[in-house]
Structure 1
Amino acid sequence: MWYHDFFNSIGTPNEIEIFEEDFNEFTIEYSYPTILLPTEETIKNIFAEVKNSDICSFYLSIDHGESVVIKDDNNFSLSFNDLNNLLSSHEEGEKINIKINIYKTSTDNQFHFYSKDCFFNYIKSFDSVSLANFFSSSVFDHTSKIYILINDFVGTLNSSKFFIAAQYQAEEEDYGYREKRINNIISNNHSSFFAKLKVLPEDFIFSGNGEIELLALEQFQRLAKILLIASIFDITDLTKESFYYKLNGYKSISESINTANVNIKNLDDFYNIYLWIYNSGNILDKLGLARNLISLHLKKDSSLELEGDVFESLKSSYKVYEKQNVKQYIEVRNKMSDQISDYGKRVASFTDNFANGFQKSALSLVTFFSSLIVTRILATPKNNSDFIMYSTLITLVFLGITLVYMIISRFELSEQESRFKKSYSDFKKRYTDLLTEEDIARILNNDEEHNSDLLYITKKRKWYTTLWILVLALILIATIVYYLYGNATPPFQDDKLPSPKFI
C-alpha cells in the first residue's frame, strides 16, 4: 500500500506504533532512529491518495515533543519549513515519530477503508452482541444496503445487508421483506435482544470470491448462527459472556454456553431451516415441526451441533403434515369461497335497492307531472292561472323532496359500502389463525372479486345518480315551460282572469 511504501522510503523503522482504522478514522504511526527528509512532492503524493471528502494530516515529532502538522491547505509550504527546522534539531538517540491521520466521511451508506487488515482487526475487536449492536446503530442507514469499500481488498463479498469490495458496484436491493421478517421473528420467539437489532441472520452469511481473514469470517458466522438460533428456538438471551437458549420440542433443552464458544458447524443446516420457515407458508406450523425435530437431533454436549440431515427430514415430515391437513384446508377454502359468493349477493342487493329507489322516484314524478298536464288540458279557463301557479309549486316541492331522497339514498349506499369493506377486512383477519397471508391472498385471487364488487358499486352509484339528476333536470325544465306557457295562453274574451299570484 502507498502508506507502507512511503514509510519504507524514508528509512528503516524501529516499529509500528499505531496501525488502526474504524468507520470514522484511519491512523498509522511509525518510529525511526533516523530518517531521510521527505520532499514536498512525496508528502503531496500522500494527500493525493486520500479520498477527496476525507481530511488527511501528516505529523512529525521527536520523542514526546510537540508535533509539526502538515495539511493539504494554503499553509503547506510554511508547515514544510517547520518540518525541516524540527529535523535539523534531531540528535542521535532521539526517536522520530511520523504519523498519518485521516478523518473519514461517508455518503449514501458507502464507507471507505484504507486497509483490509485494519478492517478485519476492527471486526475481530467486537464480541458477538457488540457487533450486532454496532451494525444496528445510527451510524448506518438501515433502509438500504451498506457498501464497505476497502482499498486493497481482492474480489467481492455480498450478503443481504453488506457489500464488500475495492470499488463501488451497484447491487439489487430487496429491502421490502426485512421489516416483516423481523416482526415475524419477534412475535414467534422470546428473545431478550432481537427486538433491539436492525440485522438478520442472512446479513452475516456472505457469498462471493472475496479474500477474508479466517477469524473475521468466523466472527461473522458465529453472529449469524446466534441470530439463527434466536429465530428458531423458543427462548434466547445474549450477553458479552454467555448465550442462553431454550428449546421446547419432543425434548426440552435448556443450556447456557460461552458466547465465544458458539460452534459455527451446521451453519448451512440452520440457515436452510430458517429460510424454509420464514420464506413462505404457515410460520407457526413450521416452527413447531422444526423445534420438534431439532430437539431430537441436537447433540448433548452444548455445542449446538446437529446429527444427521435435519433439513431433509423436516421437509419430508412437513409433506406428511400437509397431507393430514389437506382435508381441513379444502374445507376452509370452500367455506371462504361460499362467503365470497355471499358478499357478491350483498353487493347486488344494496345496489338494486339504490336502483329501485331511483325507478320508483322517477316513475312517481313522471306520473304526477303527466297528471298535471292532463288536468291542465281539461281545466276550465276560470281557474287556469291559479291552477298553473299552485300545480307548479307542488311540482317544485316534489322535485325538492326527490332530490333530498336521492342524497339520502347515496349516503346510505356509501354507508353500506363502508360496512361492506370493513366486513370483508374482518373476514380476512378471522382466517389468519388458520391460513397464511399468502394462502388467503391466493384463495381470494388477491382480492380481485372484492375489487370488482367495489367497482360495480361505484359504477352503479355514478350511473343512477347521473340518470336521477338528468330526470330531475328535465322535469324542472318541463315545469318551467309548463308555467310560462300556461300563463302566456290568452283567456276567453268574455272572462277576465286574475293575474298569476305568488306566495
Structure 2
Amino acid sequence: MGLLNSLINSFSKTPTSLSERVTTLEIKTVCLGKELPDLEHLILIKDRFPRREKIKISIENETLEEIIQIADIPNFQQYQNFKNKFFDDELEVMITIDKKVEDNKFSIYCFDNFMSDFLKKETSDIMKAFNQLLKLNNYLIFEIFDSSLVPSLLLSTETMVFKKADEENTILESDRLKKIETCKQNSNFYSNSNLELIPEDFHIKTDSNSNLRNVFEKIETLLSIAYLSNSAFLEKSSFKIQISGHRMSNYECDINVQKLKNKEFYEIYKWTYTDGNPADKLIIARNAISLHCKNLDLINIDETVFASIKSNFALYQKENVMQYIDLKNKLAEYIVKLTTTSNDMIYGLFDKFKNNLIAFLTFLLSVYLIKIMSNQSVGSVFTKDVTYLSFLILVASFLFMIIGIAEVYFQKNKIVNGYNELKKNYEDILDKKDIENTFKSDDLLKKSI
C-alpha cells in the first residue's frame, strides 16, 4: 500500500479494517498507548500525502473515556498527556482520509480495495461517481499510491488515466467540456443524477487490468446510444430511448442485467460528432438505425449499419454540393440583377428630377419670351396668373417628388425581400455560418441600399 502503509505501520502492523470508497478512505486499527508514534513523526508522514487530501486521526480508549483527534493543527502537549495517561491501555485508532479532485488529479491508495468496493456498485452509481469526479474538468488523472501494482500505466481512456503516483504525469489534451455542450445541443439525454459524461470518458486506449474493461465498455455503449437517439432517459437500472427516423423505434432495458456492449455504437457516435455538422449526420444515422431495428434488436447492430450510414451521407453530400453550386449560380445572377436594378433606380430618380426642372424652367422662359415679344416690360412678367400657375407647378413637382421617392422605396423593399427569400431557400442546405460566408454578411445589399 506504499504511502498508506507507512501511516498504518506507525500504529500497528495490521489494520483491523480498511475500506476505500470513491472519496473516503477509512482505516481502523488498535495499539497500546506506549506504541503511539511521536507526534513529529506522524506529522512528517502526513506531509508526504498530497495537499488536496484532508487527513483526520482519531484515538480513543476502550471505555470512550477520552478521545484525541489529530487534524490540521495538532496540540503537542495534549497528545503527549494522552499518550502518558493510557500508556499500558489498548487504544482504537481511526484514520480517515477525505479525497478530492484538485489540478485534475485524484488519489487511490489501496487499488484492490477501491476496485472491490467500486465494482459492487450498480452501473448507474458508477456513472454517478465518475460524473462527480470529472465535473468541470477536461480530463482526470488517477494517481495510485499502491506499490503492489506492477504496471506503470494501468488504464487510460480519451479523458482519464489510471497510473502510479510516482510516474511522470501523463499529458492529456481534451476538449471534453466543449464536446458535452455539442452533445447536449443535438440530443436529449436525461437522468436523475444530471450526468455530464461522454463516451470518450470510457473509451479504453490502454488497459493492463480487465476489471474495469467490462463496465467501461458497457457505459461507453450506453452513452453512445444516448447521444445518437432523439431522447434517452436513465433511471437507476432502467434505460429508455427513442429513435425517430424512417420509423419510430423505442427501446428499453435493464442495464444491470442485459448485456449492453457493442463497439459499433461508439464508432457511429465518434463519426457523427467529429467534423462537419452533427445535426445532418444524426438525421442519416437515426434513419439507418431505425430501419435496422425493424427486424433486429437495437443492441445487435453490426458494421453493415455504419457502412450504410456513411454511404447515405456520401450521397447526401453529393446532393448538397449540387445545390451549393446552384446557390452560387443564382447568387451571381442576383448580384448582376441587383447592380442593374440599383443603377436604374438611381438614374431614374435623377431623370425625373432633371425632366421636372427642365419643364419648370421651360415654363418660366416661355412666359419671359412672350412678355418680350409683346413689348411688355420685364418687370410685369410675374403677373398674378403667372404666379399662381408657378405655385401650381411647384406643388405638382412636390407631389411628383413624393411619388418618385415612394416608387424608389417600393423597389428597394422588393429587392430586399427577394434577397432574403434567396437566403431563406438555402437554410435547410447550409448552416448559418456557411450562409453568412456565401452572402458575405449582406455587404452587397447594404452597399446597394
Question: Hey, what does 1:44 align to over in structure 2?
Answer: 43
**Distance in 2 separating the partners of 1:232 and 1:348:** 47
**Distance in 2 separating the partners of 1:30 and 1:336:** 74
Question: Hey, what does 1:29 align to over in structure 2?
Answer: 27
Equivalent residue in structure 2 for 1:260, among 248, 253, 256: 256
> Is 159-168 or 27-36 further displaced after alignment?
159-168
Question: Hey, what does 2:215 align to over in structure 1?
Answer: 219
Q: Is the 8 A contact 2:139 2:160 kept in 1?
A: yes
Q: Which one-letter code corresponds to 1:89 in the other structure?
A: K
Does structure 1 residue 140 correspond to structure 2 residue 135? yes
Does structure 1 residue 113 correspond to structure 2 residue 115? no
- Report the 3-state secondary structure (helix = DSSP H, G, I; strand = E; otherwise coil) of the residue aligned with 2:425: helix
Q: Which one-letter code corresponds to 1:460 in the other structure?
A: S
- Report the 3-state secondary structure (helix = DSSP H, G, I; strand = E; otherwise coil) of the residue aligned with 1:85: helix
State the Cα distance separating 1:225 from its structure 2 match: 1.7
State the Cα distance separating 1:116 from its structure 2 match: 6.5
Instruction: Write out aligned runs for 1:462-473 (5 A).
Output: none
Question: Hey, what does 1:58 align to over in structure 2?
Answer: 57
- Report the 3-state secondary structure (helix = DSSP H, G, I; strand = E; otherwise coil) of the residue aligned with 1:275: helix
Q: For residues 116 and 202 of structure 1, do their structure 2 counterparts lie closer, same or farther at Cα, with a shift above 3 Å needed?
A: farther
Q: Which one-letter code corresponds to 2:58 in the other structure?
A: Y
Equivalent residue in structure 2 for 1:87, among 83, 91, 94: 83
Query: Which deviations, in whole Å up to 9, do the C-alpha atoms of 1:181-233 show, x marking residues without a partner?
Result: 344343xxxx77599543332332132x475x533332222112222344557
Question: Hey, what does 1:284 align to over in structure 2?
Answer: 283
Q: For residues 70 and 136 of structure 1, do their structure 2 counterparts lie closer, same or farther at Cα, with a shift above 3 Å needed?
A: closer
Question: Hey, what does 1:347 align to over in structure 2?
Answer: 338
Query: Which deviations, in whole Å up to 9, do the C-alpha atoms of 1:305-330 show, x marking residues without a partner?
Result: 56xxx31x345545776798899778
Q: Is the 8 A contact 1:53 1:105 kept in 2?
A: yes
Instruction: Write out aligned runs for 1:381-392 (5 A).
Output: 382=379
- Report the 3-state secondary structure (helix = DSSP H, G, I; strand = E; otherwise coil) of the residue aligned with 1:215: coil
- Report the 3-state secondary structure (helix = DSSP H, G, I; strand = E; otherwise coil) of the residue aligned with 1:171: coil
Q: Is the 8 A contact 1:162 1:203 kept in 2?
A: yes
Q: Which one-letter code corresponds to 2:256 in the other structure?
A: A
Q: Which one-letter code corresponds to 2:145 in the other structure?
A: D
**Distance in 2 separating the partners of 1:317 and 1:139:** 35
State the Cα distance separating 1:31 from its structure 2 match: 0.9
- Report the 3-state secondary structure (helix = DSSP H, G, I; strand = E; otherwise coil) of the residue aligned with 1:228: helix
Does structure 1 residue 129 correspond to structure 2 residue 124? yes
Q: For residues 324 and 49 of structure 1, do their structure 2 counterparts lie closer, same or farther at Cα, with a shift above 3 Å needed?
A: closer
Q: Which one-letter code corresponds to 2:71 in the other structure?
A: K
Q: For residues 460 and 82 of structure 1, do their structure 2 counterparts lie closer, same or farther at Cα, with a shift above 3 Å needed?
A: same
Equivalent residue in structure 1 for 2:143, among 147, 150, 167: 150
Q: Is the 8 A contact 1:222 1:262 kept in 2?
A: no
Query: Which deviations, in whole Å up to 9, do the C-alpha atoms of 1:379-412 show, x marking residues without a partner?
Result: 97747999xxx9xx99999999999899978976
Q: Which one-letter code corresponds to 1:33 in the other structure?
A: C
Equivalent residue in structure 1 for 2:347, among 351, 356, 359: 356
Equivalent residue in structure 2 for 1:97, among 89, 93, 96: 93
- Report the 3-state secondary structure (helix = DSSP H, G, I; strand = E; otherwise coil) of the residue aligned with 1:360: helix
Instruction: Write out aligned runs for 1:269-308 (5 A).
Output: 269-277=264-272, 279=274, 282-293=281-292, 304=299
State the Cα distance separating 1:81 from its structure 2 match: 2.0
State the Cα distance separating 1:68 from its structure 2 match: 1.3
- Report the 3-state secondary structure (helix = DSSP H, G, I; strand = E; otherwise coil) of the residue aligned with 2:59: strand
Q: Which one-letter code corresponds to 2:69 in the other structure?
A: V
Q: How high is the TM-score relative to the length of structure 2?
A: 0.68
State the Cα distance separating 1:423 from its structure 2 match: 2.3
Q: For residues 214 and 401 of structure 1, do their structure 2 counterparts lie closer, same or farther at Cα, with a shift above 3 Å needed?
A: farther
Q: Is the 8 A contact 1:157 1:163 kept in 2?
A: yes
The gaps in structure 2 that reach 5 residues or longer are 147-151
Q: For residues 261 and 173 of structure 1, do their structure 2 counterparts lie closer, same or farther at Cα, with a shift above 3 Å needed?
A: same
Q: Is the 8 A contact 1:63 1:97 kept in 2?
A: no
Q: For residues 248 and 412 of structure 1, do their structure 2 counterparts lie closer, same or farther at Cα, with a shift above 3 Å needed?
A: closer
**Distance in 2 separating the partners of 1:158 and 1:446:** 41
Equivalent residue in structure 1 for 2:439, among 432, 447, 450: 450
**Distance in 1 separating the partners of 2:403 and 2:162:** 69
**Distance in 1 separating the partners of 2:214 and 2:310:** 35
- Report the 3-state secondary structure (helix = DSSP H, G, I; strand = E; otherwise coil) of the residue aligned with 1:261: coil
Question: Hey, what does 1:16 align to over in structure 2?
Answer: 17
Q: For residues 120 and 44 of structure 1, do their structure 2 counterparts lie closer, same or farther at Cα, with a shift above 3 Å needed?
A: same
State the Cα distance separating 1:366 from its structure 2 match: 6.8
Q: Is the 8 A contact 1:10 1:36 kept in 2?
A: yes
**Distance in 2 separating the partners of 1:406 and 1:46:** 92
Q: For residues 258 and 104 of structure 1, do their structure 2 counterparts lie closer, same or farther at Cα, with a shift above 3 Å needed?
A: closer
Q: How high is the TM-score relative to the length of structure 1?
A: 0.62
Runs of 4+ that moved beyond 6 A: 233-236, 245-255, 322-331, 368-381, 383-386, 393-414
**Distance in 2 separating the partners of 1:164 and 1:413:** 69
The gaps in structure 1 that reach 5 residues or longer are 462-503
Question: Hey, what does 1:492 align to over in structure 2?
Answer: none
State the Cα distance separating 1:18 from its structure 2 match: 4.2
**Distance in 1 separating the partners of 2:395 and 2:172:** 71
Matched positions, count? 424
Q: For residues 448 and 343 of structure 1, do their structure 2 counterparts lie closer, same or farther at Cα, with a shift above 3 Å needed?
A: farther
Query: Which deviations, in whole Å up to 9, do the C-alpha atoms of 1:100-157 show, x marking residues without a partner?
Result: 44464746xx35325362764564354223344555569822xx51434425384386
Query: Which deviations, in whole Å up to 9, do the C-alpha atoms of 1:67-96 show, x marking residues without a partner?
Result: 3123343xx3xx222222222233656343
Q: For residues 86 and 261 of structure 1, do their structure 2 counterparts lie closer, same or farther at Cα, with a shift above 3 Å needed?
A: same
- Report the 3-state secondary structure (helix = DSSP H, G, I; strand = E; otherwise coil) of the residue aligned with 2:90: coil
Question: Hey, what does 1:460 align to over in structure 2?
Answer: 448
Q: Is the 8 A contact 2:339 2:448 kept in 1?
A: no
> Is 252-261 or 125-134 further displaced after alignment?
252-261
Question: Hey, what does 1:184 align to over in structure 2?
Answer: 186
Query: Which deviations, in whole Å up to 9, do the C-alpha atoms of 1:421-469 show, x marking residues without a partner?
Result: 642443124xx3xxxx5xx369x975544227x22222334xxxxxxxx
**Distance in 1 separating the partners of 2:348 and 2:248:** 67
**Distance in 1 separating the partners of 2:159 and 2:401:** 61
